[in-house]
Amino acid sequence: MAIDSARLTRVAQEHLDFVWRCLRRFGVPASDADDSAQQVFLVAADKLSEVPVERERAFLFATAARIAANARRSIRRRQSAYDNYSQAPEEPRVSQDDLSDQLRARALLDQVMADMPDDLREVFVLFEIEEISIQDIAVTLEIPIGTVGSRLRRARQAFQQAVTRHRARIGFKQGAVG
Amino acid sequence: MTEPTRIIDEAGADDLELSLLRLARSEAPSADGRRRVMAGVAAMGVASLASQSAEAAKLGAHGLSSGVKWALLGIAAVALPSVLWLLSGEPEPATKLTQPGALQAPASEVTPPSAPAHADGPAPLTLDDLPALPANEPAASAGAKPQGSLAEEVAQLQKAKLALKGGNPAEALSELNVYAQRFPRPRLGAEATMVRIEALSASGNAARAKTLAEGFLAKNPNSPYAARLRSLTGAR
C-alpha cells in the first residue's frame, strides 16, 4: 500500500498532541507514550488512504484507544512477571503540600482516569479535556448524541466521586491548588 | 441536546478537579519525543517511497519510462539520508548512499541541500559498529540479506525496550541481537544503541556500557541522547 507521505506528515503534525494525550488518558505511562504514538501513526500510514479527511481524528482516536489497550495489557504482563521485584502501582498519596508537585498530581490524574470505565472515559476525555463538542463526539464514536450526553453525566459523576474519595483519604482541604 | 458547560468553565468548580483537568489539557510530548515520532513518520513515508521505487525499477521497460524510473529512484535517494539523519538525531554527515536494490540510483552520493552537511564528520553509529554484535554483512554488499519493513523494525526494537522496562536487561540484549541480525542497516540505529547501553548498564555491565557510550558520544557529541548517556554511564 503506497503511503501518502505529505498527508501522513500533516496528520501527525496536526494530531500528535491529541494522540499523545489520549494515549496518556487511556493509561499509557508517559515513558511509553512516544512509542505508542509512533505505533498509532504506523497504523495510520497503512490505513490512511481508506480514511476520509473529516474522519482522520476519529480514526486516530480509535487507533489510540486500541494501542493503549494493548499497551496496558503489556504493562500488566510486565508487572505480573516481575511482581517479586517491583511493587504494584502505589495509590497516589497527594497531600496539600505535595499537590504542587506535578508528578504526584499526574499520578492522581492517571489513577482517577484508570478507575473510569472505558466507555465513559472516552466521552470524558473528548469533552472535558479535548474540548470537542457533543455532536462531534457522537460522530467520532459513532453513537447517538443522547448516549454521549448520558455517558458524559456518568463520567462526570465518576470523576467527581474519585476526587472526593481521594480527598477523604488524604484529608485534602479544598482550595489548596488552583 | 444543549452543549453542557465544561467543568473547567463552571463557576465555583472544585479546585482539585480544576487542577487535574488543567494538567490533563497541558500534557504534551517532550521536544525530543515529538522529534522522534515525527522522524518515524517521515521514515514511514520514505520506506514506502523506496518500496514504490523498487517496484518501478522492476517494471523497467514494460512499465515506466526510464526517465520516470530514475526520477523516482532519485527522489528516494535524496529523501533517505534526511530521514536517517532525523532518526539518528545527529548532524547529518555527507552520505554515500549505498543501499542495495532500487536505492542504487545514478546519484549514488547525495548531500541533501536542506540539511547541514559535514563532509569530514563522522558517520552515524549503527549497530554494525558495536563490538557486542554478531558480524553482519556489509551494508552494500551484493548478497546483503533483505531487510524487514519499518513496522517490523519498530516492533523488534519495542521488544527490547519492553524487556528492559520489565526489568530484564538480559532479554533486552538478546532482543537487540535479534534486531541487529534482522536489520543490518538499521533505520533506528541510534535508538537501538541507546537501548543497548541502557540494558548493559542495567545488567551491571557498567564498564561495557561506558565504553559503548563513549564511542557513541565521540561520534555523536550533540546527540539528543548525549546528556542521558553521560548521566547514565559517566561517559565524557
The model's pLDDT over B7-36, given as tens digits with 9 standing for 90+, comes to 999 988 898 899 999 999 999 999 988 988
Inform me whether the C-beta atom of residue A124 falls under 8 Å from chain B C-beta atoms.
Answer: no
Residue with cell 520489565: B166
- Per residue in A143-177, pLDDT (tens digit) is 999 999 999 999 999 999 999 888 888 764 444 44
Distance from CA of A141 to the nearest CA of B (A): 17
Rounded Cα–Cα distance for residues B34 and B184 (Å): 26
Rounded Cα–Cα distance for residues B101 and B157 (Å): 24
What type of residue is A177?
A: V
Residue with cell 497541558: B26
* Percentage of residues in chain B having pLDDT higher than 70: 55
| Interface predicted TM-score of the whole assembly (ipTM), two decimals | 0.81
Residue A137: partners with Cβ closer than 8 Å, 6 or more residues away: A123, A126, A127, A148
- Per residue in B43-67, pLDDT (tens digit) is 776 666 555 555 555 554 444 444 4
Please indicate whether, in this complex, the C-beta atoms of A149 and B20 are within 8 angstroms of each other. no
DSSP 3-state of B95: strand
Q: Which residues of B touch A13 (CB under 8 A)?
A: 38
Residue A84: partners with Cβ closer than 8 Å, 6 or more residues away: none
Rounded Cα–Cα distance for residues A127 and A152 (Å): 8
Rounded Cα–Cα distance for residues B166 and A96 (Å): 33
Query: Is A61 within 8 Å of A20 (Cβ atoms)?
Result: no
Q: How far apart are the two ends of chain B, measured CA to CA in Å? A: 62
Torsion angle, alpha carbons of A23, A25, A29, A33, to 10: 20
E strand segments, A15-58: none
What type of residue is B138?
A: P
Please indicate whether, in this complex, the C-beta atoms of B46 and A99 are within 8 angstroms of each other. no
Measured in whole angstroms, how far is the alpha carbon of residue B121 from the centre of its chain?
19
Nearest to A156 by CA among A118, A111, A123, A107: A123
Residue B95 bridge partners (DSSP): B110
Q: How confident is the model at residue A25 (pLDDT cuts 50, 70, 90)?
A: very high
Inform me whether the C-beta atom of residue B152 falls under 8 Å from chain A C-beta atoms.
Answer: no
Rounded Cα–Cα distance for residues B29 and B35 (Å): 9
Average pLDDT score over residue span B158-165: 84
Q: Label residue B227 exposed, middle or buried (CB < 10 Å: 0-12, 13-18, 19+).
A: exposed
Distance from CA of B120 to the nearest CA of A (A): 31
Average pLDDT score over residue span A20-43: 92
Residue A38: partners with Cβ closer than 8 Å, 6 or more residues away: B36, B37, B40, B41, B154
Q: What is the model's pTM?
A: 0.57
C-alpha distances in Å from residue B205, one per residue of B41, B71, B158 = 34, 49, 22
